[in-house]
Structures are given as structure tokens and as C-alpha cells.
Chain A
Amino acid sequence: MTSEARRMSSFALSDDTMTNVCAHCCTKIENLSVKFGSHAVLENINLHLNCHELLVLIGPNGAGKTTLLRAISGEIPYSGAVHYLVRSNPVKKPRIGYVPQKLHFDQGAPISVMDLLAMSLSRGPVWLHTRRSIRNNAEMLLKKTASEKLIDRKIGQLSGGELQRVLLAVALTPVPDMLLLDEAVSTVDLKGLQIFYEVVTRLKEEFDISIIMATHDLTGIAPYADRMVLMNRVIVSDGAPRDVLSDKLTLETFRLSL
């Protein structure tokens, strides 16, 4: 079953009914706008996202992809509304797992992958000792993102793709309702991207979560995406990856032919 066919069979959504129908759980983003001073970064974003759906955000640099993710996670103020619903009942605060685009940390810092997970999973003094149970838990999480071998490496020594998978493991506890992935394509090699997409798809199926991923890797992500949204301050087009990628507007936006 292709990912697109799966989407069609499980939710039976078409683009015009999308705002009304909600499957087991869903996220509704209504008229979301963000302004930095007088400059409008996002205008009237309306998105409806079901769980078990991987939505890929594409758009040129400065299109507001990262801003949208930060608004959904509540990191920056916005106007409009983000609702998260389970069986059509609104949930006050959905658990959001966030994988940032860049970490501006001291690359030489002696912080191991285990430390990063321990600090994220517990408030205990990681500088003193880490409980065995936390280590087991961390190993289990890393296994889910194909990065269990990295547990004792320093985070400054990981490649872009490895670091991304470790951050994904961090975002998995508590199991989130929604995963927001902000991808730094420049630091991740092709093979790394491939592994990352596979891991993300597996997590989507295992935990039944909605995933929004911002990326520049248009063609690489296409086979994995359930839906693709082209945005440039506003939503330009929204639909199946094949349709969005062959859209004239997309080609114009990126000035390329696929």
C-alpha cells in the first residue's frame, strides 16, 4: 500500500471536506498569523491534520516554516487558534515533541548522548550519577530511532543525521500527540536523511502520532509524506505530494523542474 493510498483509505479525506471531518484525533489550525513587529511572517494559516499523518512543509527560505512550528509548539505568540482534538473533544494541552533545526551548543562540551537523554527524562543530578533505570529507558528510546550505538558518544561528535535521530529519541518521551520536526538539510548527508525518514515513518505507525516536518528535501521526502503543504507566508498549495510537486506554483517558487 502506498502512503497515499493508506491515507485515503484510513481517513477518506478529500481537500474540501478536510476542515470538517476529524478521525480519532486531529489538530486544527485556524487563521494562524504571526507578526514580528509590523512584519507579517505568517498570514491566515489554516491546516487540518489527522493523527497517523506525516505532513511535510516545503517552501523557500524565509517562508515561515520554522515560525509555524514554533507557533504550534507555543514558543512564540500568534493570533488565531490551534486546537487538538481527540474523538472531537478538545484537549487542553497536547504533548508536543519538538526536534529543533539547530543546536547552538559548545561542540567540545563533554556531554554524552546518555547525558542528554538523562537530563530530558529526569530532573536528577546527572553530574552526580544516572540511575540504571534511566539508562535502560534511554537505550530503549534510542533503539526506536536506530541510534542505540551512539549512547556513549559526545553529542558534539555526532554527524547531523545521528544528532537528529538522538533528538527524535528525546522527543519520544512522554509519547507525544504531535511531533514537530524542523530539519536542517544542510548538515545531514543523503544516507542520513533516508534513515531519518524511515525512522519517522516507523514511529508514526507505532505511536499513531501526527507529524509535521519542515524540509528542503523535496524529492527525498516525497515517498514518505502523506501530505505536502507548500507555503510562502501563506499556504500556496496543499495536497498529495505528487500533486503539490507537479503544481505550477511549486515549480515557480523553487524555479526548478522535477
Chain B
Amino acid sequence: MFEHGRVGAEALNNILYSVTLRLLDNNGLGSRPTRAEYAVKAVFGILTMEGYLDLIHRILDLMLPFAWARYDFMKDALIAVILFTPVFALLGTAVISKRMAFFSDVLGHSALTGIALGVMFGLADPFWMMFAFMVLLAVGINYFKGITQVPSDTALGVFFAVVVALGILILSRGGGFNKFTGYLIGDILTVSPSQLLCLFSVFVLVIVYWMFFGGSVILASINPVLARTRGINVYLVETGFVIILAVLVAVSIKMVGILLVNSLLILPAAASRNIARNVREYTCWGILISLVSGVAGLILSFYIGTSSGATIVLVSALFYAVTTAMKLRMA
């Protein structure tokens, strides 16, 4: 007990030391920051991104004394998983209620075309092109849905075929497609600090949007006319919804891959749908299942040497199977 406390105190001291060191570095001239400067930095968080990450790494060291958590890349991957799994589950519940599973799949695959366009325009990093293309596509499909009624499976199927074929066509020019297979499968273990920051911003964006408009999106999924008579601007909240969905998928593509990103969205929510009795349970179970499969899948993939994305998806598929059995037993 005593021993444990001493280790804890030592680690805390370590953390404080590293933070202080950062602050001194940031000051530039090497002089000690004044109390006022220190306060300003503490309040506004003018620490470098790496400083924050370092702090989180140290906290994780303290909390997770396991072999797999010794590596910084595993810690970063863990942070990424903890950031994206809950928001995937959150939006996944609405995607299922709105019967948009195929739409989100098309959205995920459209990343290929976005990347291809970026490459065609000679950008060093095609990310922003992919990002813009996906957001535009989501808004576009939502707009056409509004003027022509619900898009049929056939119309979405055509979209799907076109975006994938166009992406492959451009990327395979000169036989260089192999360079881009990484996007298909994704890799959580190579996540960079700037990607984590991006992911964190999206995490906050999704939660804030859902705080204000989640109820409206769900109500509109039950009946748009009913939602409109309740004073909800259905078109605007739905456009907002597809935009944040596109943003989340775009930011996660590099980590989980085009092929599996939709599974991460659908499976935890589908598993939760089997056992939940109301919206709150639906959301809470979804987030829990998503988080547990994310973390368990990541750790498993470390020990059995498999792709993290695929392992996470299989763990959540297991949850789906178990909850389906529970549902059948209850019925």
C-alpha cells in the first residue's frame, strides 16, 4: 500500500516536472516565467501539442502498467480509439434510425475519389481534398434527397459504383495503386499528434452538435412533418448531421480504413439497438459497446499481431451476436 503511494507520488512529481520544463522552454529566452505568465499559460493552455501529449502519456503510464502500454504508438492509438469510438456510436444510432447505413458506406468509399482528386491536383497530402470532397458529397446527396424524396438503394448503388470506380481509375494511372492501399485498411498505430488534435476537435464538435440537435435529428427520423410542426428546421439539422458525419468519417479514414469505417459506425449501435428500451439506453449502451470493443480490439491486435481496425470490428461483431441472442431470449 505504502509502496503504491510512493510510486504514485513519484509519477506525479515527474508529470509536474515535465510540464514546468515545457513552460520554461516555451518562454524562449530561458528565463523563469513570471507568475502572471504562468497563470496565462495555465488558463489558455498555450502549451505545445506535444506538451499535452507528453502529459497524457505520463498519466497513461501511471494508469496502465502493462506491456502493451509501454510503447508511445500504442498510447497514441489508445487515445485515438477513446476519442473516435464514442462519437461513432453516437452518430451510428441516428444513422440506423434514419436507415442511412448504405449512405454512410457510400460516404466512406467516396474517400477514395477524394484522395484521387488530391493526388491528381498534385497535393502533397490529399487529406483536405478528401475532406472537402466528402463533405460536399454528403451535402449534395442530402440536397437531392430533399427534392426527389428518399434516395433509393439503386440511386445510392450507382453513386457507390461511380465514386469507387473513379477513385481507382485516377489512382491506378501508371500502375501506382499499391501506394494507396493503406487508405483501404488504415493504420491506427501510425497516428500523429496533429491527427489526434484533429480527432479531438471532431470529438468536441460531434458532442456539442448532438447536445443541441440530437433530439431534433431523431424526431425528424420518426416523421419530418411532425418535426416541422414542432418548429424544427428539418433540412438544416439534417444537413448539419450529414456534415458532421462526413467530417468524422474523413478524419478516421487514415486510422480505420475505407473498408471498415462503416462497420465501426453501424455495429456498436446495432448491438445496442438489440437491448435498449429507450433513446438514453440506446446511446449509453452504444457508447459503452463501442469503447469496450475499441480498447479490447486494440489490445488484442497488439498481442496477436493483426490489423487493429479489423480486430476492433470483429470484437463489436461479437457484441452484436451476443446482444442478438439476448434479444431472442427476451422475446
Which A residues are within 8 Å of any B CB, using their own CB? 70, 73, 75, 96-98, 100, 103-106, 108-112, 114-116, 118-120, 122-130, 152, 154-155, 167, 170-171
Q: Are A110 and B226 in contact (CB under 8 A)?
A: no
Measured CB to CB, the nearest residue on chain A to B231 is A123
Q: Are A127 and B277 in contact (CB under 8 A)?
A: no
Q: Are B229 and A110 in contact (CB under 8 A)?
A: no
**What are the 3 tightest A-B residue pairs by CB atom distance, in nearest-first order?**
A110-B276, A112-B278, A127-B283
Q: Are A105 and B225 in contact (CB under 8 A)?
A: no
Q: Which residues of A contact B212 (CB under 8 A)?
A: 123, 125
Q: Are A105 and B222 in contact (CB under 8 A)?
A: yes
Q: Which residues of A contact B211 (CB under 8 A)?
A: 125, 128
Per the bound structure, the CA–CA distance linking A122 and B231 in Å amounts to: 11
Q: Are A129 and B280 in contact (CB under 8 A)?
A: yes
Say yes or no for B216: interface residue by CB 8 A criterion.
yes
Q: Are B219 and A110 in contact (CB under 8 A)?
A: no
From A98, A127, A154, B226 is in contact (CB under 8 Å) with: A98
Per the bound structure, the CA–CA distance linking A100 and B283 in Å amounts to: 27
Q: Which of B97, B99, B279 has the most CB of A within 10 A?
A: B279
Counting chain B residues whose Cβ lies within 8 A of the other chain, the interface size class is: 20 to 34
Q: Which of B96, B211, B222, B273 has the most CB of A within 10 A?
A: B222
Which B residues are within 8 Å of any A CB, using their own CB? 90, 93, 96-99, 210-212, 214-216, 218-219, 221-223, 225-226, 228-230, 272-273, 276-283
Q: Which residues of B contact A122 (CB under 8 A)?
A: 215
Q: Contacts A115-B279, A126-B280, A128-B280; is A105 near B223 (CB within 8 Å)?
A: yes
Q: Contacts A75-B225, A105-B221; is A125 near B214 (CB within 8 Å)?
A: yes
Q: Are A154 and B210 in contact (CB under 8 A)?
A: no
Q: Contacts A127-B279, A170-B226; is A108 near B273 (CB within 8 Å)?
A: yes
From A103, A105, A110, A120, B278 is in contact (CB under 8 Å) with: A110
Expressed in whole angstroms, the minimum distance between the Cβ of A38 and any Cβ of chain B is: 18
